[in-house]
Amino acid sequence: MARRYFTVAAFAGLIVAIQLATLATGTAYYLTQLTMTAYYSLVIVGLCMLIGYAGQISLGHAGFFAIGGYVAAFLTTWDLKSHQGAIVSLLSKSGALVSRHDVYGGSLLTVHPWLACAAAVLLTVAVAYLVGGPILKLKGHYLAMATLGIGIIVYRIVLGTEFLGAADGISEVPGFPLPGGLLITGDSSSRVSNYYLAWGVVILGMILLLNLIHSRIGRALGAVHGAEDAAEAMGIPTARYKLHTFVLSAVFAALAGVLLTHYNGGIGPSEAGVMKSVRYVAIVAIGGMANLWGALSMSLVLNYLSLRGYFGTYDDAVFGVILILIMLFAPDGLLRRHLLSDLKRIVSRDPEGEEAP
Amino acid sequence: MLGGMIAVTLNGFLPIPLAIVLAVILTTIVGAVIEIAFIRWLYKPSVLRMVIITIGVSILIREIALHIWGESVRALPYFTGSSVSSINLGGVYISSQVLWVIGIGALAVAALTAFFNLTMLGRQMRACAANRDAARLCGIDAGNMVTLSFMISAAIGAIGGAVVCPITYVQYDSGTPLAIKGFTVAILGGLGNSTAAVGAGMILGILESFSIWVLPTAYKEAISIAILLGILFVKPSGIFGSAEAARLKEF
């Protein structure tokens, strides 16, 4: 119990240390990428929960990320002024709508970001429940292809839909207001506060997931991962737990999508692309599948390097290679939980059993 | 994609038939190399692991192709006639290349069916698919069979790519959607049944083309994937496949 929170505190310390380091070296502009990294990390810890703890793969999480981002972006940029009706005026009176000015000085009447965020999360929950039920009955390559398919459908829809901006995506998304006068926005003047906000959200998410793992549900999921039939026989509703984990990780992805869209001020269809989903899975894999901290630290490093453009034109290839190497040599992930004992086993040349997913 | 791309490149200094044959051979070798390098030596890999590895490999091939050939769209010239000429078949005008595609497709299916049903090698391969351990007990080298199946499917993919690319054009990233569509068709027809796969492919193609009537063109691809999901949810053994046969295969 205490050890869990000690790690969280240590991570928070690391985040502060990074910020102080950028301050000391005058490289505060790194914080922009680090903030974006934080939101991607939110997707990754959610996905880690699904892959590592529930043992279900998803190659479609970029789809959920995009659902969240696009709903938020669309609702907060959709001008309701021309739609004068009973519902609009009712919403307006109840404070659900905000009027603001666009870059050209014209006034806009749009949905409040909080309401848009709620709508995004609700839609994601609905979609995840709808597809999660039948999808999680599938196994192996059927599951992989089906989730990949979900991702591609979302990608095609956002790419082909006119009011979602087609290939251009949606831009000029306003900031996300928080109590205390804080605003999630890409404005360089609020860089530091946004950096802490983003990582604060990630840490909150981590605390939630860590508590979940160490709860009755987490232990049940561990049993599902180890031996599904045995877990079922022990009276664990395996299907329901898997579905709930799927929905939870989808919500994490959607929330990350909402917040990153507000931070970047826009979203494009590439966020829904297959490569993004593959990248998330690759990072979870290198982080050690069932190792939230491993996934989080790898996400911090790799996303940051990728966003800073260190991989150049080989960006996608790097993640492809990572995925192949991990799957070939360490199918349980690189930084897995029992790394030390496994190394001992390898050294003493005991045969290492293949673990079925 | 690789087949089409290599064929286009080779066609720069070789006649079309030779370029295609060479492209198919090269792609087959690539298929074999991939299997030997990434799959073969794994000890009892789980299917999921193989799927992820092949996805990784396909990304790698895509990126390599991007660096070799760039982003430009290429195509082979039409085998006979040109892109504007057409043949009148009972009042219907179709491009000669379409006939080539249909003809070569039919040939490939016939050859595959003959291979699986008539030759010893084909029967051995089916035995491996049905029950690997039993096949091995009968003296079949299951590892070689997997390599061979990779080569065959790479070769057929290359033939398809080379034949279709005068119509659809080819680009570094044209492989991924085709892979998913191919998987859809294979599932739709029931895995390991190439004749049914052709029927399924036609159904999918027609459904996809007619979906333009009701939905925007941009959604075309989403339709085929939605069909895949529908099939997976309702009848994972495929329309033409029997549920019992699917249960025999251990996935």
Chain-chain contact of B63 with A317 (C-beta, under 8 angstroms): yes
Q: Which residues contact B114 (CB under 8 A, 6 or more apart)?
A: B122
Lowest mean pLDDT, pick from A335-349, B123-137, B212-226: A335-349
Interface test with A, best of B49, B183, B184, B215 (most A CBs within 10 A): B49
- What average pLDDT does range A83-94 have in this prediction? 63
Complex prediction ipTM: 0.71
d(CA A293, CA A307): 21
Q: Which of B49, B63, B251 sits opposite A320 (nearest CB)?
A: B63
Confidence at A343, pLDDT banded by 50, 70, 90 = low
pLDDT tens across B229-247, in order? 777 777 666 555 555 554 4
CB-based contact, B71 to chain A, within 8 Å: no
- What sign does the dihedral A207-A248-A332-A330 (CA atoms) show? negative
Round the average pLDDT of chain A to a whole number and report it. 77
Report the amino acid identity of residue A24. Answer: A
d(CA A228, CA A343): 27
d(CA A111, CA A95): 9
Percent of chain A with pLDDT over 90: 0
Contacts of A269 in chain B (CB under 8 A): none
Specify the higher pLDDT residue, A334 or A315. Answer: A315
CB-based contact, B38 to chain A, within 8 Å: yes
CB-based contact, B182 to chain A, within 8 Å: no
Residue A355, pLDDT score: 41
Nearest CA in chain A to B63: A317
Chain-chain contact of A146 with B63 (C-beta, under 8 angstroms): no
When mean pLDDT is compared over A177-181, A214-218, A289-293, A350-354, the highest value belongs to A214-218
Distance from CA of B106 to the nearest CA of A (A): 27
Residue B175, pLDDT score: 66
Residue B7, pLDDT score: 67
Chain-chain contact of B45 with A141 (C-beta, under 8 angstroms): no
Distance from CA of B85 to the nearest CA of A (A): 32
Residue A63, pLDDT score: 85
Confidence at B249, pLDDT banded by 50, 70, 90 = very low
Chain-chain contact of B38 with A354 (C-beta, under 8 angstroms): no
Chain-chain contact of A156 with B221 (C-beta, under 8 angstroms): yes
Is residue B227 within 8 A of residue B187, CB to CB? The reply is no
Supply B132's token pair. 């690997």
Nearest CA in chain B to A149: B225
Interface test with B, best of A47, A57, A142 (most B CBs within 10 A): A142
Contacts of A355 in chain B (CB under 8 A): 46
Chain-chain contact of B48 with A144 (C-beta, under 8 angstroms): yes
Kindly give the interhelix angle for A292-307 and A315-329, rounded to the nearest 10 degrees.
150
At residue A135, does pLDDT exceed 50? yes
Specify the higher pLDDT residue, A252 or B20. Answer: A252
In 10 A of CB B186, how many CB atoms? Answer: 21
Lowest mean pLDDT, pick from A62-71, A263-272, B37-46: B37-46
End-to-end CA distance of chain B: 28
At residue B63, does pLDDT exceed 60? yes
- What average pLDDT does range B92-119 have in this prediction? 81
- What average pLDDT does range B66-79 have in this prediction? 72
At residue A333, does pLDDT exceed 70? no
Residue A284, pLDDT score: 83
Confidence at A113, pLDDT banded by 50, 70, 90 = confident
Q: Which of B48, B60, B226 sits opposite A140 (nearest CB)?
A: B48
Chain-chain contact of A156 with B183 (C-beta, under 8 angstroms): no
Specify the higher pLDDT residue, B162 or A64. Answer: A64
- What average pLDDT does range A263-289 have in this prediction? 80
Specify the higher pLDDT residue, A236 or A99. Answer: A236
Per-window interface: A 119-158 vs B, CB < 8 A: 131, 134-135, 138-146, 148-150, 152-153, 156-157
Chain-chain contact of A146 with B229 (C-beta, under 8 angstroms): yes
Confidence at B159, pLDDT banded by 50, 70, 90 = confident
Question: Tokens 């021309």 map to which residue?
Answer: A82
Contacts of B69 in chain A (CB under 8 A): none
Specify the higher pLDDT residue, B119 or B51. Answer: B119
Chain-chain contact of A166 with B218 (C-beta, under 8 angstroms): yes
At residue A262, does pLDDT exceed 80? yes
Confidence at A241, pLDDT banded by 50, 70, 90 = confident
Report the amino acid identity of residue A227. Answer: A
pLDDT tens across A3-54, in order? 777 888 888 888 888 888 877 887 777 888 888 888 888 888 888 888 877 7
Confidence at A341, pLDDT banded by 50, 70, 90 = low
CB-based contact, A318 to chain B, within 8 Å: no
